[in-house]
Every structure is written in C-alpha cells, then in structure tokens.
Structure 1
C-alpha cells in the first residue's frame, strides 16, 4: 500500500527511520521519501518503472518548497526509463542496484536529436535513456557509490545482429538543463553511452566509476554534447569506446543547430580502453568545440591519449584545447588527429563545410610502451594549425613502428620532445600554454546534505 505523501515528506530527521548518510550536492532538499513508499520492490524481478514515475510525479510538487529527494534503498530495482524533475535529488544507497529493463516496451521511443538529424544506430530515432530529464533546473543524481546496471548484453547482441529498430538507450541523459550534478555512482554495462548531458549548462560530473567490457560497442563513458561550463573530475572509466567523448552535433544538422561545447574542464581521469581514446574531441563536432582544459590524466592500455576526430562536411571548429600532465602506459598512439574520420548521418552533408582545427596545446606528458608517437593528419587545403607540444618523453615498445611521427597537413611547434617530432613541428624554446583563469563551474561549492535509509 502506498503511504499518503503528506505522511512521508518533511524533514529527514523527523520522518524517516534508519541510518543517516551524508553526501555532497549542489543543493540539499527540504523533503525526502523512499522508493518503497511508492510500491517499489527490490527483488530484481518486479518492474519499478511505475513506482519511480509515481514517486517523482508526487515529489515534483515540492520543487518550489525547498525541493525533494528520492532515496533508493538497498535492493535490486528493475526499471525501465523514467524522467526526473527540477530541484530534485535521486540518491542511490551503496547497496542499491538499478537494473535496466530489457523489455523494449519499458523504453519510450524519441525522435532523433535535432543536432544529429538521425539516430546513431538506426536513423528512425532512439530509445529514451534510463534516467532522463529535459528543461530541468537543479537536478542531482548521486549516491554513496550505488550501482546502475544497464544489462547491456542483450542490446549489444541486437546491435551486432542488426536487429535494432531504434538507437540504443543511454544510462543518464539530460537535455536543455541547467545546474546538473551526476556523482558518486558506479555505472556498468550500459546499452550504449553512459552519461550524456546535452544542450545543457553548469554540469558537474564527479567520482564516477564506469565499467563495460572492452569489446562492447559504443559504451562511451561520459559524453558532454553541446554543453557549456562543465566540470568532469575524479572518474575511472573502462570502456569499449572513448572514455570521454566531447561532441556538438553531426554534419549539416549540427551546423544548423549551432551549439558548441565550450568551457570544459577534465581532471584526474583514469581510462582503460584498448580500442579507443582517453579523451576524444569529435567526431560529431559540427557545432564547435572550444576551451577544453584537461589535466592530470592517466591512461593504461588505451589506444590513444587525446584524439581529435573530424572530416569534410563537419564544418565548425576544434580550437583552444589545453592538455597537461598526462601519464600514459601501453599506448598505440600518444598523439592522434584525424581529418578523414568519414562517418556521416546521410549523403546530405556539405563537402565545402571544412572544420577549423587550431590552437591545440599539449605539455608535460610521460608515455611508456608506445607503438606510435603520433599520427597527425590534417586535411588537404585545410591544415590543422597552432599545434604546440612541449616537455614530452615517450618510451617505445620493444617493436615500435619505424615511422614514429606521421604528419600531413599540420603546422605547429615543439619543445623538448622525444622521440624527435616531424618537420612540421620544429623545435622552439617554449612552454605550451595552459589557462590560469578559473572557469565559473570551478567556483561551484558543494553542500553537505543527508539522507536516511
């Protein structure tokens, strides 16, 4: 039986029995409830989609009265997709596991994102993400390392067998939202991308553990997409695709939508991804990517460090990119830029829409057991310019490639780099820049909040 809402809401200290847990959040909430108060059953078999939707609908009425939080207690909570609301916190207990339903009926169908034009797996559209929200303000998804299990194997099988009718769902996605926090969670086995903030601003992503088999398709860790003022820090990602992929729309659709990803800081990321990048910029970057700051990055057994991916038809730009203090172990490439990535949504792209790649700065990098130092491929008649690489020491594998620096259609400089870079990166006595100012998202201070479970 569902307890009337007036009986379960109120101050945490007076209405909920159990253990008090403290956690950090952008805002604390005046009201609180537990999923079981709305008929939730944590047996791993019973669908809780209705319980989540009912709870969030009822709690949404407190948005203007100090907000509300929904506590997911210990248990295994099977659920399909559900939407969050503004001035709201979803908190997962450390012994709580959200199990994503494998029943397609539990995943509403959505049209393609306007900056993409078509679905990425299938052109018709896409399934809703597991935890979803649009046009929200002040929303938090957190826990004390609770788990969200996407149960992705069935989705991966459908992808490989070409049995999908829509693009696979993501685990967490917010669109057109402001003041978003996603933190202190373990995300495993996503059907596709894990975390996808889109068309949003003031986004804080911290202390996530993201795990997927290294051969799973498109299980990117964190993909900020046409977002501004974003902070990603203290995350550990093992993935079948890029650990972080920075995006802003696809070809003519992204150009028309015209919303860049900008003012992004990435700190203290550890990545394992044998077939993909530690941080990818693109390939869908047709709204532009600028002012990205990455520092204190560790990659182990990963294909490349920071990779720029673009192509004819993308248009826009990747510029003002700053990277420092990377430690790389067992890498195929340290530096990789690709101007011929290919992949287009449809044949309608403009072959005259050439991307502008400039102001790319790397410094203070140590890399061991490397096969290729660099593969830097600009576009004919559209060179990548303003590349700066300084204070880099690369130790090669026992069987390195003879051509360590493969460079075409690029321009820049280098300083104190071993092995010696290619001729388009002549030696200069410089230190590549890194901004000293703070982004506005760096000034966001978390509050100590509490929950009783």
Structure 2
C-alpha cells in the first residue's frame, strides 16, 4: 500500500536532494576550470601533464591594472590536487597579468603564451617578508628579512616554468630607486627563486627589469635553465642573471 511520507521524511528527502544538487554543481564548476590537456601541444612545455587550466578560469584579468595575486594562487592551489594524477599545467594567456608573489606546487608547469606578460606588482603589501636563507644569515640590502620572490617555490619536485618566449617583467624601477636612496627596510625580491627542490626546468622566457637577481635556484638539484633572455638597464643594481646558491654561499657579497 502506498503511503504518503510524513513531514520529517519529506524534509529529509528535500535536504538530501539539495546536498546532491550542490555537489553536482560544484563538480561542474571544477570540471569547467580544470580539464584534460588537449588545447595545445604539452610537449612544448618540456614535460607531459594530464590536466590544465587557464589563469582566466580563476578570475584573472590581463589588463595590466587589476591584481591577479589571488587568481594565480587559487589556480595553483586547485591544480595542486592533481599532482598524483598526471600533474597539471597553468596556462597564462595573452595579456598583461599584474601580480604579487605566488607559490608554485609539485608536478606542475607554469606556461606563458608568447603574448603574455606577468607584471610584478609595485605594491609592497603584495610581497610577504621572509627570513634570510640559513647559509646567508642576512640579505643583500638589509640586515633583517627579505621580500619573497615573485615566482617562488620550496620543497618541490618536478617543476617547469616556461613558455613560447612569454615575458616576466619585474617593474624594478621603484625598487632600484629605493635602493639608491637607502630607503629599503628589507632586501629586494628576485624574479624566480626555487629552494630545497629537485627536477626544475626554467626555459624559453624573457625576464626583464627584475628588482634584484633574476633566477635563484638554491639548495636544489637537477636544475636546468636554458633559452632565457634577460634584460635590464646597465644602471640597475644587482640584476644578476642566474645565481645558483647553496651551503656556504654569502648573499651579502
């Protein structure tokens, strides 16, 4: 005999249906952001990744004015979930993508389109202050801490930073001026710093106007840097190209 469900049972069914609908909608959103990599040849990135997403999928705006710090970190945090499932790739499309520092993840590729430029923010509030490296004990510009690098990673495995000669622009003029005037409270950031990591490739990019050093792999192994163009005015202070570091090195020299 068919029985009409009571109020409690009917309410429970509604709640269960609502939960299922939320889960389905959430999965749909995730599937739209992260997809199986088939939009372009992933072999150009120097390694095979199974999943990919575009920075624009996470709210990125490439107008050169809007801050994309949160968009970069949200995208990388989401893609980090795929590290054990074939790895992932974040595609930076054409545009000028203003951002503060962001952290990379393992089994990951950051890939810049040839017409993409990552612009370093000149807002110091977007740059965390971190401790000097243990073997250095101090920074180049100040006794205390240092600003974290624009593209930063620590304790990583299998990381690629590359592109079709896309650009990373550190917009270093403000930092250089403060250095020359003795106004820096902390050491200037680098463009790229990778620490305590292994299996790192940095290739096919143009790096320009870094606040200080351009590429700083430190306490790391199996690091390959190739096909990099580095540009800075002759008057810019300490804009070294590639400075590997490790135990016994002295950042203050």
* TM > 0.5 fold call: yes
Unaligned 5+ runs, structure 1: 228-247, 251-283, 285-342, 345-453
1:109 maps to 129
1:160 maps to 180
Counterpart secondary structure, 1:196: strand
State the shift of 1:22 in Å: 5.4
2:157 maps to 137
Counterpart secondary structure, 1:64: helix
Matched, 1:68 2:88: yes
Tell me how large the CA RMSD over aligned residues is.
Answer: 1.7
2:220 maps to 200
Partners of 1:154 and 1:148 lie apart in 2 by: 16
* Cα distance change, pair 189–44 in 1 and its aligned pair in 2 (3 A): same
1:128 maps to 148
2:208 maps to 188
Give the alignment of 1:9-158 within 5 angstroms.
Answer: 9-13=34-38, 16=39, 20-21=40-41, 23-158=43-178
Residue deviations 1:393-424 (CA, integer Å, cap 9, x gap): xxxxxxxxxxxxxxxxxxxxxxxxxxxxxxxx
Unaligned 5+ runs, structure 2: 1-25
State the shift of 1:11 in Å: 1.9
Partners of 1:26 and 1:138 lie apart in 2 by: 11
State the shift of 1:146 in Å: 0.2
Question: For the Cα contact (< 8 Å) 2:33–2:58, is it kept in 1?
Answer: no
2:29 maps to 4
State the shift of 1:24 in Å: 3.8
2:190 maps to 170
Partners of 2:43 and 2:214 lie apart in 1 by: 22
Question: For the Cα contact (< 8 Å) 1:30–1:65, is it kept in 2?
Answer: yes
Partners of 1:23 and 1:145 lie apart in 2 by: 15
Residue deviations 1:267-302 (CA, integer Å, cap 9, x gap): xxxxxxxxxxxxxxxxx6xxxxxxxxxxxxxxxxxx
State the shift of 1:5 in Å: 2.0
Counterpart secondary structure, 2:84: coil
State the shift of 1:119 in Å: 1.3
Partners of 2:45 and 2:217 lie apart in 1 by: 17
Partners of 2:88 and 2:42 lie apart in 1 by: 16
- Which stretches of structure 1, 4 residues or longer, exceed 6 Å deviation after superposition? none
Number of matched residues?
227
1:393 maps to none
Question: For the Cα contact (< 8 Å) 1:185–1:207, is it kept in 2?
Answer: yes
State the shift of 1:25 in Å: 4.5
Partners of 1:24 and 1:31 lie apart in 2 by: 15
Question: For the Cα contact (< 8 Å) 1:23–1:143, is it kept in 2?
Answer: no
Give the alignment of 1:169-318 within 5 angstroms.
Answer: 169-226=189-246, 248-250=248-250
Question: For the Cα contact (< 8 Å) 1:25–1:181, is it kept in 2?
Answer: no
State the shift of 1:26 in Å: 4.7
Partners of 1:22 and 1:58 lie apart in 2 by: 19
Partners of 1:66 and 1:23 lie apart in 2 by: 14
1:357 maps to none
Partners of 1:189 and 1:206 lie apart in 2 by: 19
Partners of 2:67 and 2:107 lie apart in 1 by: 26
- Write 1 or 2 for the structure with the bigger share of strand: 1
- Write 1 or 2 for the structure with the bigger share of helix: 2
Output the TM-score relative to the length of structure 2: 0.86
